[in-house]
Amino acid sequence: MTAGWLALLAGLAASHAAPTAPWLDFTLSSSAIARRCAEAKAEASSKLDLLAQSRTPTFDATLREFSNVLADFSDAISAPTFLGEVSVDAAVRDASRACDTDVSRFLVDVYGREDLYRALKAFAGSGHALAGEEARLLEKTLLDFKRNGLELPKDKREEIQALRKRIVELETEFRKALGEEKTLVSFTREQLAGVPADMIARLARDGERTLVSLDYPDYFPFMENASDPAARRELERKFSNRGGEANVRRLAEALKLRREAARLLGYPSHAHFVLEERMAKTPEAARAFLAGLLPKLERKGRDELAELARLKEAEEGRGADRAIRAWDWRYYDVKRLRTRYQVDDQAIKEYFPLETVTAGMLEVYQTLLGLVFREVVPADAWHPDVRLFKVTDKADGSLVGHFYMDLFPREGKYKHAAAFTLVAGRSRPDGSYQPPIAAMVANFEKPTAEKPSLLRHREVETFFHEFGHIMHQVLTRAKYRRFSGTRVARDFVEAPSQMLENWVWRADIVERLSGHYREPKRKLPKELLDRMIAAKTVNAGITYLRQAMFASVDLAYHLEPVADTTALWQKVASEISLVPMTPGTHPEAGFGHIMGGYDAGYYGYLWSKVYAQDMFSRFEQSGPLDPQTGGAYRRIILERGGSVDESASLREFLGREPSDAAFLKSIGLEP
């Protein structure tokens, strides 16, 4: 352990209090998962049957009971469905995904039940006056049923249910194909020129050749450092074909079925159906938002690409292809940072050992949000690498919740970074509050006998981002699961976490986060951080054009019928991102977000970034660790979840109407 981690543990004695959620059993076998899933469905069905048969519609017996039944069901299937993302046992992962699919199909049936809808409508028409979160719960619950076809004739409802169930199967198969990706690409010693030595040392070998996976800890360092363009091209080609033709077919079928379901419900497209519940409200508003950004981003992006092209010509010669290809832009962007700004990510990461960053990050969040974190030992989690922390309120010592950290890659594990709600915070029937439990899953470089895990600065940023989601989930005080934690409008859900990325660019915060892995007292030099800050926006045009491209492809897929998803991707990529798609690849087959909940909503990453930077402007005025501002952020944004309209919460926190000025400034553009 590094000094930073030891200091944290010395200041915060380890706790032995396990979470009060005995149903969170991470030792479940594949057969136990199937059994638990079936039992949870049977119990929920029985309770819902009783609710539907009630002849006295009241808030407690009808609306609150419906909410509690589904919340109890969610708790019961939490571990069985989560294990599909993290278990080392392939049979367990398969059983978990089967349970997840079964659960999704079950929920389609629940929201297709006419007797439940009648009971809820009877309560809505009974004259009970509701306000605040209860009124919002009724409104959203009735809308959920309506959006599942309960205002349609029975034959149409059954058709929608069948479509939804098939979509669930396709989504599960799509995600499984990505989660089980095991492609390895072999390279000679010459082809590895420029790749960090510590990365090469940890890679598997096949005789004289070295094997590189498509996982993030391998892919990004390779693409950023390998000087052989043919080697980069080969790895990028494999990466952009993850999921293969099978996922292309799954996506095409899902797009078709989503469109059919939306039309049956009376919506012009799946995009119109999805955005009805988002802050944007309509696809037209989302497209107008992107259209307003694109001209500014394009001017900046073209200037950046021109500079990268000059670097490419200087390295590869005048006879080389001057266009910046998909396998070029990361490499030459890093080269520009090193040559023009003297910013070398590989050297910088020596100042960010994971344990030091973790200790500093937890200290920052404790100070900002008025919390105390204590590690729970043993964690009794799903893998020995996992840590568990207890969260209490600094003011009164009351229990707030728990969170797990699972930070290193392994076979079969979820390959990106994400925060998962394991137990949603909510009011219990006895009036007490159920403490939330969440899990952060990431894939940072695993420590070796020679070196600790070292984070590139962008990974430190990712760490802060994902932990922001954890805080959103753990600090919730919403009464009902429907609004708990990150269950907010999808085009707002990233904003609280995106805002917290700003902390890792401040000298006073970096002082807490850094310490050279050989000499922990050596902090990241201020002059180096100054150069990093100066370089922060140099690739913002390319980066945000790429995000705009993803968003535009996503909206296009879900607005009109698509004959060829690959051809459409290629067209939009060349028009918007300015970096052409590699011929012979199918990037959409690996675009997990489009089959994982961001369908017709990927624009939300950019949309919420505007709100994130606007919220940060308040911290810029008060200071990043000001407890009063942090307390307001906790109370108004994090604790409420979706229990209050997101726009209203945003205006209250800002004290004014939102603006995009801070966002444009943050990426080097004039408002």
Q: What gap in Å lies between CA 346 and CA 655, rounded to an integer?
A: 42
10 contact partners, CB below 8 Å, separation of at least 6: none
List C-alpha distances in Å: 221 to 199, 214, 216, 334: 8, 11, 8, 10
Three-state DSSP class for residue 240: coil
Q: Does residue 560 contact residue 309 with C-beta atoms inside 8 Å?
A: no
- The residue with tokens 């498509």 is 214
3-state helix/strand/coil string of 68-86: HHHHHHHHHCHHHHHHHHH
The candidate with the shortest Cα–Cα distance to 525, out of 353, 351, 662, 400, is 351
Q: How far from chain centre, in Å, is Cα 565?
A: 24
42 contact partners, CB below 8 Å, separation of at least 6: none
β-pair partners for 159: none
Q: What gap in Å lies between CA 548 and CA 636, rounded to an integer?
A: 29
135 contact partners, CB below 8 Å, separation of at least 6: none
The helix (run of H) or strand (run of E) holding residue 426 is: strand 426-427
Tokens read off for 614: 């606007």
What number of other Cβ atoms are within 10 A of residue 311's Cβ?
18
Counting other chains too, the contacts that 627-631 makes at CB distance below 8 Å and 24 or more residues apart are 627/367, 627/368, 627/370, 630/367, 630/368, 630/369, 630/370, 631/369, 631/370
Sign of CA dihedral 300, 303, 308, 312: positive
Residue type, 426: R
What number of other Cβ atoms are within 10 A of residue 314's Cβ?
13
Q: What gap in Å lies between CA 283 and CA 275, rounded to an integer?
A: 7
**Angle formed at CA 589 by CA 30 and CA 462, multiple of 5 degrees:** 75
Q: What gap in Å lies between CA 145 and CA 137, rounded to an integer?
A: 13
The candidate with the shortest Cα–Cα distance to 389, out of 341, 351, 438, is 438
Q: What gap in Å lies between CA 537 and CA 306, rounded to an integer?
A: 16
Catalytic site includes residue 466: yes
Tokens read off for 18: 């396990």
Q: Which residues of 252-266 are buried (b: 16+ CB within 10 A; e: fewer)?
A: bebbebbbebbeebe
| Catalytic hit among 65, 350, 466, 501 | 466
Tokens read off for 122: 């009877």
**Catalytic positions, written as ranges:** 466
